[in-house]
Amino acid sequence: MSEPALEMPLDGDESGSGASTGSSPSTGHKWTSESAREARKRRGTKLQRGGTDDAIERSLRDRALTDPRAAEILLRWLARPKSDVVSGVDLDALTEAQLQQLHEGLIALCSMPSEPQRAALSVLVERGREALNA
């Protein structure tokens, strides 16, 4: 059984030649899984499954410098909805009093001059590391 073909031009192949199963007047190429693999090979990229958000974003930023399609994908990636869970802290699980205390602490931290703020943040980061290692 033959695989369904999607009509899209290959990178640098507007004529529809190559692994085409037939050309379309509007796009010049019909995608099959074989031609998609060949296109990835030519671009030197592999399908990557998984990866952290930071690694994905870093990769998109690197490619966006030279590839307009990657730049568009990066913009969509940055605009995606992000989860409310930050480093294992579920904000929805906090009580109103805890949220108020967190807010007051952040306001106090933001209002500090830069040197005391850096010192306070470094102490908090160190305590966080100790808590993770304990």
Considering the domain architecture, whether residues 31 and 2 belong to the same structural domain is answered as: yes
Higher pLDDT, 112 or 6: 112
Considering the domain architecture, whether residues 43 and 54 belong to the same structural domain is answered as: no
Task: Tell me the pLDDT of the chain averaged across its residues.
Answer: 74
Considering the domain architecture, whether residues 11 and 30 belong to the same structural domain is answered as: yes
Residue 97 near residue 103 (C-beta atoms within 8 A): no
Check residue 132 and give its pLDDT. 76
- Print the domain residue range for 124: 95-133
Does position 45 have pLDDT exceeding 90, yes or no? no
Considering the domain architecture, whether residues 35 and 66 belong to the same structural domain is answered as: no
The count of structural domains within the chain is 3
Q: Which residues pair with 30 in a beta bridge?
A: 7
| 49-106 pLDDT per residue, tens | 556 778 888 888 999 999 999 899 999 988 887 765 566 677 778 889 999 998 998 8
Residue 109: CA count within 13 A, CB half-sphere: 13
Vertex 10 angle, CA 4 and 15, to 5°: 100
Considering the domain architecture, whether residues 41 and 11 belong to the same structural domain is answered as: yes
In this prediction, residues 18-26 reach a mean pLDDT of 49
Largest separation between any pair of C-alpha atoms in the chain: 69
pLDDT confidence bin for 122, thresholds 50/70/90 = very high
Which positions ≥6 away from 101 have C-beta within 8 Å?
none
Does position 126 have pLDDT exceeding 60, yes or no? yes
Domain contains 20 = yes
Does position 7 have pLDDT exceeding 60, yes or no? no
